[in-house]
Structure 1
Amino acid sequence: MKSVLLLVLSFCSYRTDGSRVRGDRYFNRSSMGGHQVDLDLDLSAVFRRVDPRFLSVTIDASLAAQERFMLLLGSQKIKFLSEALSPAFLRFGGTRQDFMVFTPQKSRQQKAGLTADESCDAVQLPWWLEQQLKQDWVQQQQILMTEELQRKYHRIQFSELTVDLLHSFSSCTGFDLIFGLNALLRTSDNSWNSSNARTLLQYCESRQYRMSWELGNEPNSYEKKAGIRVDGYQLGLDFTRLRKIMSESKLYRDTGLYGPDVGQPRDHRTDIMKGFLQSGAKAIDACTWHHYYVNGRDTSLEDFLDPEVFDTLALKINEVLETVKLESPGKSVWLGETSSAYGGGAVGLSDTFVAGFMWLDKLGLGAKLGLDVVMRQVLVGSGSYHLIDEDLNPLPDYWLSVLYKRLVGPEVLKIQAVSNFGRSKRVRMYLHCANKKSYSNGAVVLISMNLSKKPARISLPALASSSTVDAFVLQSDQPGEEGLYSRSVKLNGAVLKMVDDKTFPDLSGVRLPPAEHLQLPAYSLAFFVLVDAKATGCR
């Protein structure tokens, strides 16, 4: 039976580097009037394992709409920030991938002076060029957004330079590149015209570029975007054709092929997924789909904190898993593209502190329910849902992602959180083994978020309350509801900001002594590592 005695966290706590800090500076100790949440943890066994690259990222193909912007991937700052997110997949795709045509131009490639033969340290973007590209990109985003609103897309020609820069970037940062091919190149009988893809694969093989492939982006919207309708069964045949082309290559016969990157289940989208799997399931290594909670053009702060909105994800995940189970049992399922709001994100919301709640809950729920990989739209690029802003500075969701990578292992454990009012809705929690690169065997991490304006008191069961805790609590740099709109975030009371282009701020946790309760401030996200949990499932 759990004790009802309130044990307030110690005034004096310790950082993981051993230095003493004031615990009450970082954790609201007046939480007795807030939410009371009791936890039931099962530390005996792992019930799911996700891919070590579970948290992955995308670069939208819109970056290549003018090829010179691909040079931004030569920025040392972007490379440094990206390295901290590996291991991960890097998906290059999106709406404009289905308007991209590979047009070899060796003279342009040599003129740029950036080739894949050079070492990672040797390829550096000159500072003056980086500044010019950042300034020009602000205007380019407006052009891209206008095209998106009007659904007027033009053909994009890309050369070896785009491929070289992508491969160099991914290999230097530890990402596994997935390149999205154009599926709207069709023959007279509406089957896929593979000739351009063959040319691209031949070039990549000649350079010995190891990468995986996709074909098409959101085929459910082809009719709106291009006036072309492709049903799921035909799309499966197209993927089978691509797999045959790959099998003829020594380099690509065993590499990954992923698809169909259909939008979340709704109306005929479910039929596209079924038809695709009936004809193309054997061609793919994982079945991919896309998810966004809300429309970026008419959403609100309330949506970004609404547990009912969050819970819609479980319905969509279960629907996709059921479809895949029926048509192709055992096939891995990925979120091939996802963020908070579609349509490029919600301005003033998707790039602010409040977006972290949707992002962290999606990671927790996705791992729990059966997804193996979740790809965040977007690392850099157009829209309002990026991890790194136009000046190449990290946004709140970037810092959240880095901490997730450092602290959370791929092993999922069972947890149940119950409040005074039944199952906790606004205080949401998930449990994983801790990352073994950061913590010893047996440690677990409690992924926590408080969507409420009231603080919460988390009651730990006896098997966990005897452990010391490393606390990583993320809050806005501004108090109250206004702080939810901030593009800055505090970790344990200190604002996170790069020291310089290649130096992180202190990302260590606050060491807390064993206690029966943890305090979760209002509007906060947290990772509580139970260092001495001795979870048998994590050994």
Structure 2
Amino acid sequence: MRRDRSQGLSASLTLAFLAAGLGSPVMAQSVSLKPAAMPKLGTVDERYQSYNVEMLEVTGGRFWRPYGPDLKAALRQPAPTSAAQSNGDTPPGMNPAVYEYRPPIDLANPRLRKLAAALGPAYVRVSGTWANTTYFPDDGQAPSTPPPGFMGVLTQQQWKGVVDFAKAVDAEIITSFATGVGTRNPQGIWTPEQAKRLLGYTRSMGGRIAAAEWMNEPTLATMGGAPQGYDAAAYGRDFKRFRAFADQAAPDMIVLGPGSVGETTGNWGVISSYDSAQVLKTRDLLVASQSAPVDAFSYHHYGAVSLRCAPASQTTQEAALTEDWLGRTDQTLAFYRTLRNRFEPGKPFWLTETADAACGGNPWAGTFLDTFRYLDQLGRLAKQEVRVVAHNTLVASDYGLLNDKTLEPKPNYWAALLWRRLMGSTVLETEVPIQEGFHIYAHCLRGTPGGVAVLAINNSRTKPSAVEIPKAAEGYTLTAPQLESASLRLNGQKVKLGVQDELPDLQARRLSAGRVEIAPASITFLAVPEAGNPSCR
């Protein structure tokens, strides 16, 4: 990157290529940006960049086993062929061997709160498959084992911890409610008693549930604890009951739905086949529930399923920067856009759960390699009516933003922090289409009237690119010693917490107007405070 002091990156880049025996680099692509003239394309929620804390993290229980020898041994065990072969504390039909017990998360941990607060304002979504079958007592005396029809217990003290955490870190709560067998009357119809308890207790603690899906992932309803044979007609019947209940009990709560997953990733059938369950079709769910509209159209997206749930890898490290991999988020949105336009026209999209791969993430989910997907997804979805994106997860498993043993930030956390500090809620049209290996996004610069923030992603492993800027800017370039490194460098310096967990300054480099080079496999944020964009005033 060119800068106004010390040695320019253009010279450094040339020397690096020569030292590697590659000759002088040839600019593959160069685009001229006009920050002052970029028109407003739309807006995202102020809490656009959000995150999940799984319900199972709150209660404690069996979650995804870490990669290592134990998981390799578990994967060699035969998968169950029916729900009866699963343990009572794992989703029906899933292989118990790919899970491992984790204690309840300490949401009062000072480091956790400090790091989460730095990403605020945000939404914290407390949901997941286990939420469908988690029991919430009506008093402080929680049962030691789940009542019949439930798989877990959420104590009042644990939920109070969620409410207190949300207040401390400037987060609004998203959740879903228990919908499993234990919530149903003798006719198998859902009853709202559990939802009523959770809403009432939240209010008594001075909190609120800002938004909720009724069920987590109804397209995989049986795996999520619904009765055997549960179909779209049953969903429609139950969702209408929920919508009527929510309108009366929580009229200010945003009702999200349907929260589907799995219809655009071919190998999701691997999961459902464990219990001979079919993936329910979102179209059928919407037909059955169309007299009960949602306030926002929610869905989930994973580009692949991890080895924990699939017999073979659905992606590779080598594919992680390809246009096919990064573009899968568009394919999923396009699928649901057709349904949104038909059944819920004009409703905004909320992506309430996403990461690189379902079932805990790929082995490289915690490395710089996945940061390209993380930021590129935020950039491209902001341009397409998606108001909220909730990453799964803040802490747990490989796809967590933080290491779940030490709470040390992973590369995606530092990327998230830069997005939070620079990218405002007004989305701008760069008028630069996504190019092979080079993606450009722009928002109004957060907290700077007239300023513009640009995100330039060079996802080519070999070809440098460049942008031309008409005014001075501040540059933040992200790289790593190796793409699969768990550490991150900002402008060449390793990013890490201070000795007292102080967040680093994330200092920019001053850039003069003109050409800014973007090295292969690097990501650069450009802050142009004097852009003078009228849409950003």
Q: Deviations over 1:345-370 (max 9, x none)?
A: 012x1111100011111101111122
The 2-side partners of 1:33 and 1:45 are apart by 31
Aligned twin of 2:336: 320
Q: Does the CA-based 8 Å contact 2:368-2:412 persist in structure 1?
A: yes
Q: How far did residue 296 of structure 1 move? A: 1.9
Q: Where in structure 2 are the equivalents of 1:15-54 lying within 5 Å?
A: 22-24=7-9, 28=13, 32-39=25-32, 43-54=37-48
Match of 1:387 among 389, 396, 401: 401
Q: Does the CA-based 8 Å contact 2:219-2:281 persist in structure 1?
A: no
Q: Does the CA-based 8 Å contact 2:59-2:155 persist in structure 1?
A: no
Give the aligned CA root-mean-square deviation in angstroms: 2.7
Q: Where in structure 2 are the equivalents of 1:144-293 lying within 5 Å?
A: 155-184=151-180, 185-212=183-210, 213-226=212-225, 228-249=228-249, 252-266=250-264, 271-273=281-283, 275-276=285-286, 279=289, 282-293=292-303
Q: Deviations over 1:385-424 (max 9, x none)?
A: 0001020110000000010010001112222447xxxx62
**Given the superposition, is the C-alpha separation of residues 203 and 495 from structure 1 closer, same or farther in structure 2, using an over 3 Å criterion?**
same
The 1-side partners of 2:499 and 2:184 are apart by 48
Q: How far did residue 29 of structure 1 move? A: 5.3
Q: Does the CA-based 8 Å contact 1:39-1:416 persist in structure 2?
A: no
Q: Does the CA-based 8 Å contact 1:434-1:529 persist in structure 2?
A: yes
The 2-side partners of 1:500 and 1:39 are apart by 42
Match of 2:438 among 422, 427, 448: 427
Amino acid at match of 2:54: D
Q: Does the CA-based 8 Å contact 1:222-1:229 persist in structure 2?
A: no
Q: Does the CA-based 8 Å contact 1:83-1:174 persist in structure 2?
A: yes
Q: Does the CA-based 8 Å contact 1:89-1:178 persist in structure 2?
A: yes
Aligned twin of 1:350: 365
**Given the superposition, is the C-alpha separation of residues 41 and 270 from structure 1 closer, same or farther in structure 2, using an over 3 Å criterion?**
farther
Q: How far did residue 262 of structure 1 move? A: 0.8
User: Aligned residue pairs: how many?
Assistant: 460
Q: Does the CA-based 8 Å contact 1:56-1:374 persist in structure 2?
A: yes
* SS state at 2:107 partner: helix
The 2-side partners of 1:281 and 1:487 are apart by 48
Unaligned runs of 5+ in 1: 1-7, 14-20, 110-152
1:441 paired with 2:475, answer no
**Given the superposition, is the C-alpha separation of residues 229 and 502 from structure 1 closer, same or farther in structure 2, using an over 3 Å criterion?**
farther
Normalised TM-score (structure 2)? 0.79
Amino acid at match of 2:402: I
**Given the superposition, is the C-alpha separation of residues 247 and 506 from structure 1 closer, same or farther in structure 2, using an over 3 Å criterion?**
same
Amino acid at match of 2:239: F
Q: How far did residue 495 of structure 1 move? A: 0.5
* SS state at 2:263 partner: coil
Amino acid at match of 2:368: F
The 1-side partners of 2:48 and 2:114 are apart by 20
Aligned twin of 2:388: 373
**Given the superposition, is the C-alpha separation of residues 306 and 74 from structure 1 closer, same or farther in structure 2, using an over 3 Å criterion?**
same
Amino acid at match of 1:310: L
Amino acid at match of 2:487: S
Amino acid at match of 2:179: A
* SS state at 1:199 partner: helix
Aligned twin of 1:503: 502
Aligned twin of 2:462: 454
Higher RCO (Cα < 8 Å, 6 or more apart):
1
Match of 1:467 among 464, 471, 474: 471
The 2-side partners of 1:523 and 1:159 are apart by 46
* SS state at 1:391 partner: coil
Q: Does the CA-based 8 Å contact 2:33-2:467 persist in structure 1?
A: no
Q: How far did residue 502 of structure 1 move? A: 3.9
Q: How far did residue 432 of structure 1 move? A: 1.5
Q: Does the CA-based 8 Å contact 2:237-2:288 persist in structure 1?
A: no
Aligned twin of 1:330: 346
Q: How far did residue 229 of structure 1 move? A: 4.0
Q: How far did residue 288 of structure 1 move? A: 0.8
Amino acid at match of 2:427: V
Unaligned runs of 5+ in 2: 16-23, 62-101, 144-148, 267-277, 308-312
Q: Deviations over 1:96-148 (max 9, x none)?
A: 11120112452579xxxxxxxxxxxxxxxxxxxxxxxxxxxxxxxxxxxxxxx
* SS state at 2:414 partner: helix
1:76 paired with 2:110, answer yes
1:9 paired with 2:6, answer no
The 2-side partners of 1:328 and 1:247 are apart by 18
Q: Does the CA-based 8 Å contact 1:235-1:276 persist in structure 2?
A: no
Normalised TM-score (structure 1)? 0.79
The 2-side partners of 1:343 and 1:108 are apart by 29
Amino acid at match of 1:512: L
Q: Does the CA-based 8 Å contact 2:297-2:344 persist in structure 1?
A: no
Q: How far did residue 89 of structure 1 move? A: 0.7
Q: How far did residue 189 of structure 1 move? A: 3.5
Q: Does the CA-based 8 Å contact 1:37-1:424 persist in structure 2?
A: no
Q: How far did residue 428 of structure 1 move? A: 1.4
Q: Does the CA-based 8 Å contact 1:458-1:520 persist in structure 2?
A: yes
Q: Does the CA-based 8 Å contact 1:296-1:344 persist in structure 2?
A: yes
Q: Does the CA-based 8 Å contact 2:465-2:520 persist in structure 1?
A: no
1:64 paired with 2:58, answer yes
Relative to its length, the structure with more helix (as a share) is 1
The 1-side partners of 2:218 and 2:423 are apart by 34
Q: Does the CA-based 8 Å contact 1:26-1:493 persist in structure 2?
A: no
Amino acid at match of 1:384: D
Aligned twin of 2:426: 411
**Given the superposition, is the C-alpha separation of residues 217 and 273 from structure 1 closer, same or farther in structure 2, using an over 3 Å criterion?**
farther
Match of 2:536 among 519, 535, 538: 538
* SS state at 1:415 partner: coil
Amino acid at match of 1:472: Y
The 2-side partners of 1:85 and 1:281 are apart by 37
Amino acid at match of 1:54: Y
The 2-side partners of 1:236 and 1:455 are apart by 51
The 2-side partners of 1:527 and 1:205 are apart by 40
Percent identity at matched positions?
24
The 1-side partners of 2:522 and 2:285 are apart by 43
Q: Where in structure 2 are the equivalents of 1:300-311 lying within 5 Å?
A: 300-311=316-327
The 2-side partners of 1:270 and 1:413 are apart by 37
The 2-side partners of 1:485 and 1:286 are apart by 36
